[in-house]
Amino acid sequence: MKVAVDGIVREAKTDEFLIDLITRTGGSVPHVCYHPQLGPVQTCDTCMVEVNGRLVRACATPVTDGMAISTKSAKAEAAQVEAFDRILSNHMLYCTVCDNNNGNCVVHNTTKLLAIEHQQIPFRTKPYEVDNTNPFYRYDPDQCILCGRCVEACQNVEVNETLSINWEDPNPRVLWDGGSTIGESSCVSCGHCVTVCPCNALMEKSMLGHAGFLTSLKKSALSGMIEIVKGVEPETGYGSILQISEAEHAMREHRIRKTKTVCTYCGVGCSFDVWTKDRHILKIAPEHGPANGISTCVKGKFGWGHINSEDRLTTPLIRENDKFRQASWEEAIALVARRLSEIKNKDGADSLAFISSSKCTNEESYLMQKLARAVIGTNNVDNCSRYCQAPATAGLFRTVGYGGDSGSISDIEKADLVIIIGSNTAESHPVIATRVKSSHKLDGQKLIVSDLRENEMARRADLFLHPKPGTDLVWLSAISRYLLDNGLAHTKFLDQWVNGLDQYRKSLEPYTLEAAERLTGLSERSIRTVAHMIAEAKATCILWAMGVTQQSQGSDTSTAISNLLLITGNYMRPGTGAYPLRGHNNVQGASDHGSMPNMLTGYQSVDDPEVRQRFETKWKVTLPSTKGLDNHQMVEAIHAGKLKAMYVLGEEMSIVDSNANYVEAAFEKLDFFVVQDIFFSHTCRYADVVLPGAPSLEKEGTFTSTERRIQRLYEVLEPLAGCRPDWKIVQDVANQMGAGWHYQHPSEIMDEIAFLTPMFAGVNYERLAGYKSLQWPVAADGTDQPLHYTKRFAFPDGKARLFPVSWIGPTDQPNAEFDLHLNNGRLLEHFHEGNLTYRTEGIREKTPDVFVEVSPELAEERGIQSGTWVQLISRYGKVRVRALVTDRVQGRELYMPMNSVESPVNRLTSSHTDVVTNTPAYKEASVQMKVLAEVGESPLPRINPRFGHPTPQNGVEVERKWKRADYAPPGNGNGLVQLQTKK
Ligand code: SF4
Ligand code: SF4
Ligand code: SF4
Ligand code: FES
């Protein structure tokens, strides 16, 4: 299409809004409420342009062929200024003493763009107090311009549906849950609203009093200064006042650093700028992240209290006479090297084992496995993907050839049907959940959730399935059989792309609908409904997580999921595929980079002589060829007296491995134990040497997220005095043992990885600069694959393989003595055991402790209320914990979040594992529950968002504003005198 913008002919794209066309082609038009990631909000009216003689909003008017658009006609400019004047009546310009005076304040910048000198409608305060009741941000109604961006973000991007504007009120404002305080509302502190607020109405508390040079002054002094500014404004106009504030902003540029990083918590891979002043974190500013854009959850936006926590480790520690004493780095490294060498010389290389951290970088994972293999000579190296994701990887390796998500988050967004199995996505992968919630709310995406708990996604789902624990494989196989039997499978896809149909079909014989109903407790009807929904959907994605993988048949169930996707042709196209949601920020990368007992980098097998030779030539060593011990086997080997020394990097292994009492007993038997961490973790208690590493903000490197996306993190802060980046520590240990490594920067490590690994051939730091990212596999020319398998599957003939599996049933079943099923998993606010997140005060305030969820019916039967102390006793251990009565759980099924060091759920779990990968069957646990006499406070305080009452609506509902008696579109002669401008 061709259109004219201010007399110049421009090429327009179909469906493009005028505002996008104008800014894309180098023009500008004032706009306040429009944000490209929110779409048209239409509340501010400042974007008025003239089209063929009529005033329209540029942000909401799609381009049509032949349009003549004027952004600068007298009519358009008058309307823009009039609209903006209304905005200024809601906002006091005191920029010089405002913490938001950082060059990106939309109100400030629009005042300047429109060259406003004096406002026509005077500023008036609103009859509301500032709301300070959220620990992380505050709302100032007097500064709120009612643009509604926050409402749009909360309702339609985050889809927490907390915010609205009371348009019918004489004094509209933003409301939380229709009128609650923020602190007592359903607000989950994700920060979307604060991130998109165009002014200082919503501000991070960490900014207040810290960002500006004058903003830390006492309130009385600030008020006085604001009065002075207001006093001179009639004479000087805003132009001169803005100049002063711009000078103050320029001074800030020298002391505020903005550094890109990647979130340290979950596997979504959110990236953002961290604003810092010295070591103070001013705010997290998400915008350009390829996975998240403006989105974050509470942890990524506000959960950084661990960085400057007073209990950071800042010096190496050495155990002496059962006490730890401080030591120099030289002494500690020398001791580690000496003891590892002695044990290797005495008991052999395979008497040592190494655990990499899925919180650390790809480069650090690589060096850890290189230390194990090239310096020590053992393949005994693993990472915590063994605890969660190894079964999903195995299921995908069996069927499609690679062990990663088959597409991107944008594919999940596009799907017609999303099926979530055993994943509490809204709490464990919050930003991915926002995409599903939004597509479901706004675009007609269908959602099926299968889970033991009625979590948020289950409540939103079109169909919620609650099968008996450990029976997912059965209903998945029954659906496959039903589809094949009824001619609903994708025959063309199967013919062209899939091997093994006959054998697979035969393996499905036991999985009739009747058998599935009997074994799973799901009705035949609901299983049939799911089958038809898949058959009718154009594109289906299946998301799954630890509810599937942490079972004794986690690998087989993951395989069944992939089989189902294959027979329905749900691979190779946008909006389809398999999405095992990776838990930790770099659990994908830790495995990708060789911290596995059987694989070198890029899943190259240790028993392949060609592979080994390539590494041996580069590393100039001879490498062991037999598979090493995984972390489950390591514990067994310690108990068997075969494993004598361990080096654990950044893992709270003693309580996050299952059957924690057994793991701790093993650690006590070690001859030598090194733990590298940023805090004195529970695991450190068993160490002989503790080495203080550095958190993600204090180092460079790369993380790989769940969508196989490799992203760079930059050094936001220098390592705290006494700490070292973990890659340097591993290098120091290796060199003390004679390795002769000379890495000066993590980019050199990545170059070595790319050289040795076909899957990463084209990865380098330049291609990952800033917010650039690559989704593996990456060809030598830098071509990556956001959607995997578009041309072929990763098997020699390019075809996928149906892999028959059969159900054997879960372990550790309830019986008369242990009569309750215990499920466990994550909480939104805390990450894993909580070692990092408990160090953020606001998170602790909202979610102070662990609890066990008890169903209302079981609570009634046992006389339990929220706050009752109970003792849970399993076949392996016991914990004391408070009950939370909730209908999220049903009947005799309990749920315990994993966020506790004092009462970890893993005192109760067993040593049973997935039969293929040795992943602990954490989700198969049975307990008895003793009700204790004490009744305490509810473990979740009233200010926890779970007690809020959201107010769903479709965005900001601007039409209600337009219906107000005092509203008329600007430029339509509603009695306002035109404003004075410099133009
Ligand atoms: S949930 Fe809370 S922090 Fe998140 S957008 Fe809504 S109001 Fe803002
Ligand atoms: S608080 Fe919301 S409505 Fe008010 S200015 Fe900020 S984004 Fe706009
Ligand atoms: S924890 Fe996950 S969803 Fe939350 S900000 Fe970090 S990466 Fe994003
Ligand atoms: S930017 Fe168009 S109405 Fe606000």
- The structure tokens 């001859």 sit at 671
Query: Average of pLDDT values for 215-234?
Result: 82
* pLDDT in the model for residue 225: 81
Which whole-number Å values give the CA distances from 942 to 74, 183, 694, in the listed order?
55, 9, 35
User: What is the DSSP pairing of strand 604-605 with strand 599-600?
Assistant: antiparallel
Q: Please name the residue whose Cα sits nearest to atom 2 of ligand 3.
A: 266
pLDDT digits (tens, 9 = 90+) for 244-298: 999 999 999 999 999 999 999 999 999 999 999 999 999 999 999 999 999 999 9
∠ CA 697-207-829 to the nearest 5 degrees? 60
Kindly tell me if the per-residue pLDDT of 878 is higher than 60: yes
DSSP letter (8 states) at residue 401? S
C-beta 420 within 6 A of ligand 4 = no
Q: Which of 232, 316, 407 is nearest to 790 (CA)?
A: 407
Residue 231's contacts (CB-CB under 8 Å, 6 or more residues apart) are none
pLDDT band for position 616 (50/70/90)? very high
Residue 219 corresponds to which tokens in the numbers above?
A: 């309130």
Query: What CA–CA distance (Å, rounded) separates 439 from 123?
Result: 39
Residues of the chain by 3-state class (helix, strand, coil), percent to 5? 35, 20, 50
Query: What CA–CA distance (Å, rounded) separates 257 from 535?
Result: 52
Helix (H) or strand (E) holding 842: helix 841-846
| Contact assessment for residue 676 and residue 726, using Cβ atoms and an 8 Å cutoff | yes
**Ligand 2 atom, smallest distance to 146 CA:** 3
The alpha carbon of 267 and the centre of ligand 3 are apart by a number of angstroms equal to: 7
The alpha carbon of 287 and the centre of ligand 2 are apart by a number of angstroms equal to: 17
Strands, E, within 81-173: which ranges? 137-139, 163-165
| Dmax (CA) of the chain | 94
Query: What CA–CA distance (Å, rounded) separates 699 from 504?
Result: 48
**Ligand 3 atom, smallest distance to 262 CA:** 7
Q: Please name the residue whose Cα sits nearest to atom 4 of ligand 3.
A: 297
* pLDDT in the model for residue 389: 86
Where does 99-170 have alpha helices with state H? 106-113, 149-152
**Ligand 3 atom, smallest distance to 272 CA:** 5
* pLDDT in the model for residue 974: 43
**Ligand 4 atom, smallest distance to 44 CA:** 4
* pLDDT in the model for residue 983: 30
| Contact assessment for residue 670 and residue 687, using Cβ atoms and an 8 Å cutoff | no
Query: What CA–CA distance (Å, rounded) separates 866 from 887?
Result: 12
Residue 320's contacts (CB-CB under 8 Å, 6 or more residues apart) are none
Residue 113 corresponds to which tokens in the numbers above?
A: 């763009």
3 state SS of 157: helix
- Phi and psi at residue 358, to the nearest 5°: -85, 0
Q: Please name the residue whose Cα sits nearest to atom 8 of ligand 2.
A: 147
Ligand showing the shortest atom-to-Cα distance for residue 581: 3
Query: What CA–CA distance (Å, rounded) separates 232 from 215?
Result: 20
Q: Which of 540, 553, 543 is nearest to 580 (CA)?
A: 543
Q: Please name the residue whose Cα sits nearest to atom 8 of ligand 1.
A: 193
| Contact assessment for residue 555 and residue 391, using Cβ atoms and an 8 Å cutoff | yes
Query: Average of pLDDT values for 612-625?
Result: 97
Positive or negative torsion for Cα 693, 698, 699, 702: positive
**Ligand 2 atom, smallest distance to 139 CA:** 1
| Bridge partners, residue 672, by sequence | 645
Kindly tell me if the per-residue pLDDT of 980 is higher than 90: no
* pLDDT in the model for residue 631: 93
Q: How many residues belong to the chain?
A: 983
| Contact assessment for residue 382 and residue 409, using Cβ atoms and an 8 Å cutoff | no
Ligand showing the shortest atom-to-Cα distance for residue 106: 2
Query: Average of pLDDT values for 864-881?
Result: 97
- The structure tokens 């706009």 sit at 31
pLDDT band for position 308 (50/70/90)? very high
* pLDDT in the model for residue 799: 98
Which whole-number Å values give the CA distances from 720 to 132, 278, 313, 500, 728, in the listed order?
31, 12, 9, 56, 14
Query: What CA–CA distance (Å, rounded) separates 979 from 915?
Result: 76
pLDDT band for position 387 (50/70/90)? confident
pLDDT band for position 52 (50/70/90)? confident
Kindly tell me if the per-residue pLDDT of 712 is higher than 60: yes
Q: pTM for the whole thing?
A: 0.96
- The structure tokens 């794209």 sit at 13
Query: What CA–CA distance (Å, rounded) separates 231 from 512?
Result: 82
| Bridge partners, residue 819, by sequence | none
The radius of gyration of the chain's CA atoms, rounded to the nearest angstrom, is 30
pLDDT averaged over the chain?
95
